[in-house]
Amino acid sequence: MHNGKTQKVRVLYSFPHKLGADRICYTAWQQVNGLAAAGAEVLAFPGVLQRPVPANVTVNPTLSWGKARISYKLVGTMRACIWHDYIVSRRLEQLAGQVDIVHAWPLGSLRTLRTAARLGIPTVLERPNAHTRFAYEVVQKECERLGVVLPPDHEHAYKEDVLRREEAEYDITYRLLCPSDFVVRTYLERGFERKKLVRHIYGFDEKRFYPDTKPRNPQRGFTMLSVGVCAVRKGLHYALEAWLQSPASNDGTFLIAGDFLPAYAHKLSSMLAHPSVKVLGHRNDVPELMRSSDVLVLPSIEEGFGLVCTEAMGSGCVPLVSDACTDLCMHMENALVHQVGDVSALAGHITKLHSDRTLLEKLRTTGLRAVPEITWNAAGITLLQVYSEVVASYSSRRDSHAIINRVGSSHDDQSTPANNTRTVTS
């Protein structure tokens, strides 16, 4: 951190994709916004800037120039990420002494991480998901169990080149940024040291996701909602099985908002045809759907965080989630949590809240009380604190190494003459 009264952390934020687009691009965009609000001095290098960032953020895209931009689809995501990484690493060479920490994202940071290490700049690598090898393995196993074949270009279809590059990034970065305890666990199980894994959180936009101010009609039918890409890893098949096992399916409604992989939709077709299940497709009114639903279901078999969990809580919609989701969802406090793949437990949770509206309201109220702690601005404050701790840790380690080297050098200076002395006789 530079000298001065404010002691702002100067972060180089490298994101190889379209900052402000959907999914991880939205997450990264909100991170930049939250960091700026928290007081960080942010220099952002996205591949492309998809939507504006705060005025106090300096932005210099790597793969776009004015209205001209490189097509990720045309050149391929991997090649685009490698180009981005090369450009950022070259820029970083010119910024020595002007950056306190580098925040990088997977697949587009290997050369940048190496350059930062050589320049003595600490790095953190974002992990928006579980360890990639773990994710590939559990999704492949579940697909085989279901008889669903993923297209070769699907994000969770096994890709050796992606895995090899990402694992090299894991090894060289100083710290891995993990948004949930589940993500941490997938790295610990593969032999990573606990000190390399640092926790932070994602948030939600409280200006879009907020509760309905009107009192809920106790006679209204029970509504369960699923939001997001309808993929095997999200466990929608478990949600459907649990829903149809519960009496809630007799008089309630299960809304599914999101696009399906065709093979997955075909596999689930008989359950999707049940009269209580409504497939909505991709929707742009997710906040309204959450406000009008009683519970959100997310029985993921592997997950990074699950943004919809905090968005649901902020909307007054109670999460029913697997233990692969964010630990901000606490069982019997603001959510009901089941072990991955436990359909009976999930069916029991659906039934419990269908029949016990007092418990439903209690969980809902507790979730709403936590809102100030789970917004994107709150996440930005947490991340800035993580930066400060990482910079201090890196500086301490570097000072310790310097002391050891000086002591060793001093010892060598004192011992060398004695070791080299020989008796000369004539």
One domain, residues 160 and 115: yes
251 falls within a domain: yes
| Mean pLDDT calculated for residue range 296-314 | 97
One domain, residues 155 and 227: no
215 falls within a domain: no
Vertex 95 angle, CA 118 and 14, to 5°: 80
One domain, residues 37 and 50: yes
One domain, residues 350 and 240: yes
How many domains is the chain partitioned into structurally?
Answer: 2
One domain, residues 188 and 261: no
pLDDT in tens, 19-64: 999 999 999 999 999 999 999 999 999 999 999 999 999 999 999 9
Q: Kindly indicate the confidence band of residue 418, based on its pLDDT and cuts at 50, 70 and 90.
A: very low
* Per-residue confidence (pLDDT) for residue 425, from 0 to 100: 33
State residue 407 phi and psi, 5-degree precision. Answer: -65, -45
Neighbouring C-beta atoms of residue 195, cutoff 10 Å: 8
Neighbouring C-beta atoms of residue 306, cutoff 10 Å: 26
One domain, residues 383 and 368: no
pLDDT in tens, 141-189: 999 999 999 998 888 899 999 999 999 999 999 999 999 999 999 999 9
Q: How does DSSP assign 328-348, residue by residue?
A: TS-BTTTBEEE-TT-HHHHHH
| CA distance linking residue 33 with residue 36, whole number of Å | 5
The secondary structure element, H or E, covering residue 50 is none
Decide: 139 and 233 in contact? Cβ < 8 Å. yes
Record the pTM. Answer: 0.90
One domain, residues 182 and 297: no
* Per-residue confidence (pLDDT) for residue 3, from 0 to 100: 46
* Per-residue confidence (pLDDT) for residue 1, from 0 to 100: 63
Q: Where are the alpha helices (DSSP H) in 157-291?
A: 160-172, 181-188, 236-245, 248-251, 262-267, 269-272, 286-291
308 falls within a domain: yes
297 falls within a domain: yes
One domain, residues 128 and 38: yes
One domain, residues 291 and 170: no
Which residue range is the domain that position 42 belongs to?
10-203+377-402
The secondary structure element, H or E, covering residue 64 is strand 64-65
131 falls within a domain: yes
281 falls within a domain: yes
Decide: 224 and 347 in contact? Cβ < 8 Å. no
Q: Where are the alpha helices (DSSP H) in 147-261?
A: 160-172, 181-188, 236-245, 248-251
> What's the CATH code of the domain at 245?
3.40.50.2000
| CA distance linking residue 192 with residue 411, whole number of Å | 34
| Mean pLDDT calculated for residue range 294-312 | 97
